[in-house]
Structure 1
Amino acid sequence: MKLKKVSIQNYRRFIETSLSLADDVTLLAGANNSGKTSLIELLENILNSSKTEFCVSDIPVTLSKEWVDQAYSIFINHFEKNDDREKTIQAIVNDLFCLDGAPGKEKLLILPTVVRLRVDYETNEEMGDFADYIMDLDLNHCSIYFEYSFEVTSTTFSQSLDKDFEKLKSRYEKLSGEKDQNTKMGFFKEKILGTYVSSIIEKCYFADRQFQNKNEMELSHFRKLFNLYNIYAGRPLEDQNVGHSKSISKNVLDLAHHDDAWKAFLGALPDKILQPIEELGITDIVRKVSVDGLTETISSIAQANGGNTGSIMLDLEISEETISSLISQITHAKYDLQGHYLNETSQGLGYSNMIFILLQLERYKRNIDPLLVNIFIIEEPESHMHPQMQNVFGKFLKKYYQEKKIQGLITTHSSEMVRVTEMKNLRVARPTTPFISNIFDFSSFKESVSKDPVLDNFYDWFYEIGFSDIVFADRVIIYEGDTERMLIRKLFSLDDFAVLNQLYIAFVQVGGAYAHNYRTLIEFMGIKTLILTDLDYNKASKTESHIRASGTTNATINNFYEITHPETKPTVADLYEWKKNEGNILFKGCAYLNYQGEKDSFARTLEEAMLAKHYKLTAVEEKSREDWINLRNVDKLKFTIPQEEGQYTIRDIVEHTSKGKTDFMYSVILNNLTKNMLPDYIEEGLAWLKK
């Protein structure tokens, strides 16, 4: 049996999302506060815990605020009537649950937290207890469905309201004061919400695939179907010779207890230890010393008990349990390094973390029950590891899960762990709003691009190069050359763009011929992406009319323009107009494609736009060679001027500087000209990215 899908509704940051799981190992990646830990805690609570602690914070904040704001007036109205306790409670419950059946009224309840699970099985598998819960007898759909919900009933809410009535009434009465009205209202709403949550109960059902026909089952019976183990992110490790926890030693010893030879050895050991003790008379000595030392005192005290206490002495009882405890205390893990024995704290936390995880995996493997759903979770295995160790360990874990046939779920915020995981095994948790997260299933993404051989090949290559940076990014900037990255990195240090410097921004370098391939990924993840590219019109165009009539060779611009203007090859004039009308804001506002516009003085590249802005020239205006030399000397910029005397445009200068673009950008930055030479199209793009 395999756990194939978990669907979640209305739990913390998840309003409606689902997690599909691979048969071997699934990697759930995401930045901090994206919901990874919440999902693991939910699984742990419903599959392992005997009682789930459901809290106010488990309800999505948008749902709880909306409900309490509406319920507040109902509570106020009925407390104002000053009826007796029983009548007030009944009236509030009636209004929230519509018990009077009045037409047109709807229940005022928070949407329940619901978790739906799909378990798949093979037709030749022994089903055990699962056979009782199969509702779809279809050989083409070998799945079993369960629903676990956190619900409120009128009965449980009435009971909670009765329990909290005096506290609620006390907070209501304080509202009549003139001071701190907002604070007191907040306290009252807080208590209303707390009363609601305390009335939530857990229920579990087995169902058909549409979850229409549901049958309630015992929670304990449901949990017995799963063998889930979780290595928490906050696991105990040591790299100092302090304390006595010795986590690795204990885990190695615990693993040894599963060995048959070890069990036989422990069973025989007590008798072997007792034999020399008896031969040396140690037991008699212990007994005699204890009697001689304590008899007189015990006899005096015994008089208070009628003299029937008897004497006290020490005796030796050596059992398998006491021997096992002794061995546990005196056994320590050692690393044998070229004949030198190093203790378990000698290798640092990263190595200890890796060994700890492997020991837990080995122990779990021996406890797998083929009649249950077995799943092993590791939270953030990369903890305390440097990037190369993360990469190597990630590859090992992937191979281990596959070879040992263990189904696993790993959470991570490591780019290296993502890099060594196949795309089909990757799931990404991302915030979509400040209070809501979603899980993006890259098995479905991979399947969608596989239908296009060009895209499929592109993403296979890109996945190994820079994909992992996008997974964790708040924003993405797609750019063409190193000079763009240098310029933008420097801009982030300025006050005008400080807000961007606080975000995780993925920089993806790609030529204009390929940037449009990212459309599929941008749309799939809904990640805010700035695409900076060059206008690249025919550089032989030297007059305004020729420039406006010229087309562009930039494949990304042409492909994205075609989305709204099919079968049209745009001119520069069309592209200027497209920008003016914000047609270059794409994919429902997720992407902003920007290139040199009219404000950039007919520039067709970054360097042309920078020089045009600095010298207040168009890209095609001419200056003498001597003028360019004087400008370069004054500004200390690194650009190349043709050797022959004559009149030259900015375009001529940039063309001759083509092999020294990096030096040019360094000179801009080191001479503090970054802001002065910032092209309008880049400034527009970064302003959009800040929103």
Structure 2
Amino acid sequence: MRISKIEIENFRLLKNFSMDLENELSLVIGKNNMGKTSILLVLEKFLNPSDGNRFSFDDFNTEYKKMIKVLIEDPILMTEEDYKPLGIKMRLFIEYNQQDNLSNISRLMMDLNPLNNVIVLGFEYSLEYRKYHKMKDDFKKFQTSEEQKVKKDNKYKPKSAFDFLKHRQEDFFSLIRKSLEYNIETKTVNESVFLNLGKEQISIKDVINFKYISARRDVTNKDVDKTLSTQTSRIYEKTESPDEQNKAVEDFKDKLSETDDHLSGIYKTLFNGIVEKVRNFGGVKINESDIEIISTLQHRELLKGNTTVVYKHDEDSRLPEHYNGLGYMNLISMIFEIEILVHEFKRETEKIPADINLLFIEEPEAHTHPQMQYVFIKNIKALLSEGIKRNDGIKRKLQYIISTHSAHIVADSDFDDIKYLTREASGVIAKNLKDLSERYSKNPKYYHFLTQYLTISRAEIFFAEKAILIEGDTERILIPTLMRKIDIEEREKFSGEGESDRYLPLLSQNISIVEVGAYSHVFEVFIDFLGMKTLIITDLDAVCEDGNSCEVSKGKGYSNASIRHFYDSPSLEDLTNRSFDRKCLRKESDKWVIDRKGNLCIVYQVEEDGYNARSFEDAYIHINKGFIKDNKQNFAGLKLKEHFDNGKSAYFLAENCIKKKTHFAMDIIYQSDSNLSNWKIPAYIKEGLLWLKED
């Protein structure tokens, strides 16, 4: 039995959200502010409701707040027939099979069709019609009160409907739990047919048990911190139970009993003076109130206050826990906490564990270095694979969700486990990375290459707002510098007019630079899947009739597979005459179409100062020949430097006078002045980066 899908409505960023869950690990990733923590919170608020864990007005989605404002301010009262309950909703889709014990879910089943193996549990924090009626009445009284305050003090600003709801929303909204009808053939939920679990007094605590480890952990490395030591006593509390009286626990108790006898003899001498004073004051009566102070060491309490985790460096050196780095402490603390929660899932003091045990681990990478993050994700499956195993033979699987911002964790994860959160026009959505294999069904080699490439390097693209795909080392070295130069130029351009920069500086944006060689076309489906604004910087690669490289002016075609793929095999003439707007694309069905506001742009060398270059080096040398000539003796990446003085073309110089491209790129940076103002950016790169800079 497992949760196969979570649906969430109107909770913070999650307006209309759906996410599939895997049998074991579901790794939730995405850039900041995508709702990863919101998933954890809504699960906790619905599955473990408490006075300290209530919904607040700020938990409502922004658009829903506007809806409720219109509803409350509308002078017309809706009829009960027209009214539909509104609020925060969560649905859990539970799948079961013939091997599962169905005793706990039998009362939740809404369909006895043997082919239907899905139960849908609905959780709502909603405004029922009766409370909707009361809310409008109370708001009218509130408005009257605010009007009176304004009359008394003209400076008083009347409070709005939002102010009213922030303080009163709990009076009108209430929690409801349901089992909803599910049509297995159409795979749809019928909201109108349900079982109210509250009214029927049906508990789900034996169906789902949810626990989590928050990113806001208590670990610090202050000398007063005893997080790990405290956790050891909690582990003992969970382990030591009537059903698990192992030999170590019994030996521990026997030794405490012996110690009690020994300490009681010492206490008799130690406290003799105070006992005598009590006796002198008449507080002791023989055989009635004669007092003794004895040792009663309790094994649980003893561990709570007196167990210390230390780090052993050698036989003579043991350092307290706070002496180690936060990374190690965080990792050890997580393992300890997982051990504690697994014991809690076992529910030794209750009849049996729940059918579904769901654990959420939030951002395990906190304070840890990359190597430690690799180790964590490699071992977490093995650690949790045993699930919930009790000594009485009862077993349960453990489903767990891990949210992360770590590219290192993603890089060492199974593609099939990953859930990618991104924002579209409709709001935040979750995508299964395993669905990419279907999209690449026509080119399975491309998919294999992509998964290998992204798991080895460049997984940081999943956490970026925008991406730049480049060909090689030259661009990788230079692009950050080119971005900085554009930021400087744009700031200077608008500061003279008294205006602020129109767009956020490139270096202040979350942009991932990914080196893809000549394979940017392989990333086409992946780019569309991520849905992020992407700039591809490539070379025109003009060729002669014989297929060999040549100057663009002499070219009859080109050899760039990516340009051919994205632009549907245009001619070289078309490419050299193509305006920038025609280089911007958006995906429509299975085809890329021209759109200046699209999220993909491919740039390559264009005519500049009467010349169209073939490569980056060709373009750079053409517009910066003076800069290179003035500094050529200091350019370690050049050879045959005398050719820069005898009028050779930029194409010739790029082909024959560059010793090593990476050295040439480093030379450009090294010979730049402080404001990068002594050379120019090739036009094709500049227009591409300015496009990317836009919102």
Structure 1 length-normalised TM: 0.81
Counterparts of 1:72 and 1:149, CA distance in 2: 20
CA shift digits 1:333-382 (9 cap, x unpaired): 33444434333333322222222222222233343355421112211111
How far the C-alpha of 1:680 sits from its partner, in A, is: 1.2
Counterparts of 1:177 and 1:555, CA distance in 2: 75
How far the C-alpha of 1:164 sits from its partner, in A, is: 6.0
Letter in 1 for 2:455: E
Letter in 1 for 2:515: Q
Matches within 5 A, 1:261-410: 261=246, 262-265=248-251, 272=258, 275=261, 280=265, 289-290=274-275, 292-293=277-278, 296=281, 314=291, 316=293, 322-340=298-316, 341-366=318-343, 367-368=345-346, 369=352, 371-404=354-387, 405-410=397-402
Superposition RMSD on alpha carbons, in Å?
3.7
For 2:471, the equivalent position in structure 1 comes to 480
Residue 681 of structure 1 pairs with residue 662 of structure 2 = no
Matches within 5 A, 1:94-105: 95-99=76-80
1:556 alignment partner, one of 549, 553, 562: 562
For 1:64, the equivalent position in structure 2 comes to 65
Kindly tell me: are residues 343 and 630 of structure 1, through their superposed partners in 2, closer, same or farther at Cα, counting changes over 3 Å?
A: closer
Deviates more, 1:516-525 or 1:139-148: 139-148
Matches within 5 A, 1:502-517: 502-512=508-518, 514-517=519-522
Does the CA-based 8 Å contact 1:152-1:199 persist in structure 2? Answer: yes
Residue 458 of structure 1 pairs with residue 477 of structure 2 = no
Does the CA-based 8 Å contact 1:424-1:446 persist in structure 2? Answer: no
Counterparts of 1:164 and 1:297, CA distance in 2: 69
Residue 603 of structure 1 pairs with residue 637 of structure 2 = no
Deviates more, 1:347-356 or 1:311-320: 311-320
Counterparts of 1:560 and 1:67, CA distance in 2: 46
CA shift digits 1:402-436 (9 cap, x unpaired): 35453211111111111111010011223447x94
How far the C-alpha of 1:328 sits from its partner, in A, is: 2.7
Kindly tell me: are residues 260 and 581 of structure 1, through their superposed partners in 2, closer, same or farther at Cα, counting changes over 3 Å?
A: same
Matches within 5 A, 1:242-257: 242-243=224-225, 246-257=229-240
Letter in 1 for 2:407: S
Does the CA-based 8 Å contact 1:241-1:345 persist in structure 2? Answer: yes
Matches within 5 A, 1:586-665: 586-587=586-587, 589-599=598-608, 601-614=611-624, 639-641=638-640, 648-665=648-665
Counterparts of 2:132 and 2:272, CA distance in 1: 64
Greater gyration radius: 1
For 2:499, the equivalent position in structure 1 comes to none
Letter in 1 for 2:89: V
Does the CA-based 8 Å contact 1:477-1:529 persist in structure 2? Answer: yes
2:163 alignment partner, one of 190, 212, 215: 190
SS of 2:558's equivalent?
Answer: coil
CA shift digits 1:295-319 (9 cap, x unpaired): 74989xxxxxxxxxx9977555766
Count of aligned pairs? 631
Deviates more, 1:289-298 or 1:473-482: 289-298
How far the C-alpha of 1:160 sits from its partner, in A, is: 4.3
Counterparts of 1:380 and 1:558, CA distance in 2: 42
Deviates more, 1:442-451 or 1:381-390: 442-451
CA shift digits 1:590-612 (9 cap, x unpaired): 21111122347311211222222
Residue 155 of structure 1 pairs with residue 158 of structure 2 = no
Residue 529 of structure 1 pairs with residue 542 of structure 2 = no
5+ residue gaps, structure 2: 183-187, 347-351, 388-396, 491-503, 589-597
Kindly tell me: are residues 373 and 319 of structure 1, through their superposed partners in 2, closer, same or farther at Cα, counting changes over 3 Å?
A: farther
For 1:6, the equivalent position in structure 2 comes to 6
Does the CA-based 8 Å contact 1:10-1:111 persist in structure 2? Answer: no
Deviates more, 1:254-263 or 1:326-335: 254-263
For 2:211, the equivalent position in structure 1 comes to 229
How far the C-alpha of 1:517 sits from its partner, in A, is: 1.2
Counterparts of 2:322 and 2:111, CA distance in 1: 54
For 2:495, the equivalent position in structure 1 comes to none
Kindly tell me: are residues 646 and 326 of structure 1, through their superposed partners in 2, closer, same or farther at Cα, counting changes over 3 Å?
A: closer
Kindly tell me: are residues 188 and 146 of structure 1, through their superposed partners in 2, closer, same or farther at Cα, counting changes over 3 Å?
A: closer
For 1:205, the equivalent position in structure 2 comes to 178
CA shift digits 1:444-466 (9 cap, x unpaired): 22444356321221122112233
SS of 2:567's equivalent?
Answer: helix
How far the C-alpha of 1:536 sits from its partner, in A, is: 1.0
Percent identical residues: 24
Matches within 5 A, 1:48-87: 48-50=48-50, 53-65=54-66, 67-68=68-69, 70-71=70-71, 74=74
Kindly tell me: are residues 110 and 634 of structure 1, through their superposed partners in 2, closer, same or farther at Cα, counting changes over 3 Å?
A: farther
Does the CA-based 8 Å contact 2:552-2:613 persist in structure 1? Answer: no
How far the C-alpha of 1:509 sits from its partner, in A, is: 0.7
SS of 2:659's equivalent?
Answer: helix
Residue 412 of structure 1 pairs with residue 377 of structure 2 = no
How far the C-alpha of 1:388 sits from its partner, in A, is: 0.9
Kindly tell me: are residues 418 and 647 of structure 1, through their superposed partners in 2, closer, same or farther at Cα, counting changes over 3 Å?
A: same
1:493 alignment partner, one of 457, 480, 484: 484
How far the C-alpha of 1:653 sits from its partner, in A, is: 0.6
Does the CA-based 8 Å contact 2:542-2:552 persist in structure 1? Answer: no
How far the C-alpha of 1:57 sits from its partner, in A, is: 1.5
SS of 1:235's equivalent?
Answer: coil
Counterparts of 2:398 and 2:628, CA distance in 1: 70
Letter in 1 for 2:601: Y
Does the CA-based 8 Å contact 1:164-1:195 persist in structure 2? Answer: no
Kindly tell me: are residues 376 and 186 of structure 1, through their superposed partners in 2, closer, same or farther at Cα, counting changes over 3 Å?
A: same
Does the CA-based 8 Å contact 2:16-2:427 persist in structure 1? Answer: no
Counterparts of 2:663 and 2:619, CA distance in 1: 17
Kindly tell me: are residues 248 and 153 of structure 1, through their superposed partners in 2, closer, same or farther at Cα, counting changes over 3 Å?
A: closer
How far the C-alpha of 1:557 sits from its partner, in A, is: 0.4
Letter in 2 for 1:571: S
Does the CA-based 8 Å contact 1:251-1:359 persist in structure 2? Answer: no
Does the CA-based 8 Å contact 2:584-2:599 persist in structure 1? Answer: no
For 1:133, the equivalent position in structure 2 comes to 108
Counterparts of 2:627 and 2:277, CA distance in 1: 110
Counterparts of 2:267 and 2:667, CA distance in 1: 88
Counterparts of 1:611 and 1:285, CA distance in 2: 91
Structure 2 length-normalised TM: 0.80
SS of 2:46's equivalent?
Answer: helix
How far the C-alpha of 1:534 sits from its partner, in A, is: 0.7
How far the C-alpha of 1:683 sits from its partner, in A, is: 1.1
